[in-house]
Amino acid sequence: MEWTEVEGKTVEEAIEKAQQILKVSKEGLEIEVLSNGSQGFLGLLGSKKARIKVGVIKRPEESKKEKAVDFLKEILRLAKIPATVTAKIEGRRLMVTIAGDGSGLLIGRRGQTLDALQFLANKVVNRDGDKIPVVVDTENYRHRREEKLVNIAHRLRERALRNRSSVATEPLNPQERRLIYLSLQNNPDVLAKSEGEGELKRVIISPRRQNQG
């Protein structure tokens, strides 16, 4: 923590000053009184100013943000991948963006490199304190993938209905499967369920035989 020393006639005045200088409320300050000060005789003789030492208490999300950025930056530096890392807190999530050379190296096959970076960042950041989800993105991959999955869901639904048989997606991770379910939830003509074991499962989309039963 960075410390600043502030003086005032009284400790209260010094705290007020500190709040103005550092632009934070009293709750956001860690305060240590160095000297209480004294009024002196009739406020004239031997008066001593009060001195305090203050530091700004970092919000846990802020320090988690720094941790995530430092961790990923160092990985990229050691892997000799030129890239910049930025992060911002959005609601309850920490959104980390890596801007690389656009080669797709950071994304990997079906996003597996990006998912690995995200998984490890989550581990490292949430080792202590409240857990906050960390999302790692590059080249807007997360959004593009989301659009693609919604697209796939609808295409497979059409195919299932046309062929009157079940169709399967490629193996997907839980977030990806969730998107398939969400995009089909308003389509009672098909039934979706997951099949497989482990992290990656396929979603099977089958036509519901409502007219024949």
Nearest alpha carbon to residue 205 among 213, 187, 101: 187
Q: How far is the CB of 82 from other proteins (least distance, A)?
A: 11
Listing DSSP states for 61-89 in one string gives: HHHHHHHHHHHHHHHHHHTT---EEEEEE
* 17 burial via Cβ count (<10 Å: 0-12, 13-18, 19+): middle
Q: How far is the CB of 75 from other proteins (least distance, A)?
A: 7
Nearer of residues 11 and 114 to other proteins, judged by Cβ? 114
3-state class of 51 per DSSP? Answer: strand
Nearer of residues 56 and 124 to other proteins, judged by Cβ? 124
Question: Which residues in this chain contact other proteins in the complex, by CB under 8 A?
Answer: 71, 74-75, 78-81, 105-106, 108, 112-113, 115-117, 119-120, 123-124, 198-199
Q: How far is the CB of 105 from other proteins (least distance, A)?
A: 6
Contact in structure between 21 and 13 (CB atoms under 8 Å) = no
Q: How far is the CB of 130 from other proteins (least distance, A)?
A: 19
Nearer of residues 12 and 74 to other proteins, judged by Cβ? 74
